[in-house]
Amino acid sequence: MSVIVIGGNPGTGKTMIAAELSKKLELPVVQLGTIAEENGCIREHDDQRSSNVIDEDCLVEAIHNLFYENDEDFIIEGHYVDLVPSRKVKEIIILRTHPDVLRERLLERGYDKAKVNENVEAEVMGVCQMDAIFSFGEDAVYEIDTTSISVDECVNTIIEILGSNKKPEHIDWMDLLEEQGILEDYISL
């Protein structure tokens, strides 16, 4: 049994794309956020960053139980995908979105400025992708830019990746923004 993992920053499209992929492949989707909630793995709510602080040991155990209880393939989506045991993961898809478009999507959700900036900065630096590569190895981590493709196109790209031995391509917003001479506008260091 193996799982398809979909990760990425908030607003990159994980939930929408996992739902559509689930329909096409007829596989159930598990949302890590829901697993964390249902298993009491949310330690506290960080009001300043308006986000939940996860008890990682608790979530690792909950994910372990999930694998123990299921013997069919499924899709996992959410943050903290690096907590999924790597021996169960064949391919991991990290969704990426151009920082400007991601900013728009997050502002539309009504996130405050600090939270938007924090997430846009994480996207610029490629934090999710680096964490995934660290956990699963460079050859297992595929990145898809959802900036200007439809959900359907993205799902088809994922299906192509799953059935092939394609080498992963990596997306680097830092390079692009640096070339344009505007990287400092995105990073608050």
Ligand X SMILES: Nc1ncnc2c1ncn2[C@@H]1O[C@H](COP(=O)(O)OP(=O)(O)OP(=O)(O)O)[C@@H](O)[C@H]1O
Closer of 97 and 177 to Mg ion (Cβ): 97
Contact of residue 103 among ligand X, Mg ion, none (CB under 5-8 Å per partner type):
none
- Positive/negative CA dihedral, 139, 145, 150, 151: positive
Contact of residue 25 among ligand X, Mg ion, none (CB under 5-8 Å per partner type):
none
Contact of residue 105 among ligand X, Mg ion, none (CB under 5-8 Å per partner type):
ligand X
CB of 108 to ligand X, least distance (A): 7
Per rule CB under 6 A, is residue 150 in the interface with ligand X? Answer: yes
CB of 48 to ligand X, least distance (A): 18
CB of 14 to Mg ion, least distance (A): 5
Length of the chain: 189
- Positive/negative CA dihedral, 185, 100, 134, 55: positive
CB of 150 to ligand X, least distance (A): 5
Q: Which of 144, 155, 141 is nearest to 26 (CA)?
A: 155
Contact of residue 22 among ligand X, Mg ion, none (CB under 5-8 Å per partner type):
none
Rounded to 5°, the CA angle 139-186-177 comes to 60
- Is residue 88 within 8 Å of residue 2, measured between CB atoms? yes
Contact of residue 11 among Mg ion, ligand X, none (CB under 5-8 Å per partner type):
ligand X
Per rule CB under 6 A, is residue 125 in the interface with ligand X? Answer: no
CB of 54 to ligand X, least distance (A): 13
- The CB-side HSE value for 44 (13 A sphere, CA atoms) comes to 4
Neighbours of 140 (CB within 10 A): 16
Per rule CB under 6 A, is residue 16 in the interface with ligand X? Answer: yes
- Positive/negative CA dihedral, 129, 133, 139, 140: negative
Which amino acid, 13? G
**Sites of contact with ligand X (CB under 6 A):** 8, 10-17, 105, 146, 149-151, 154
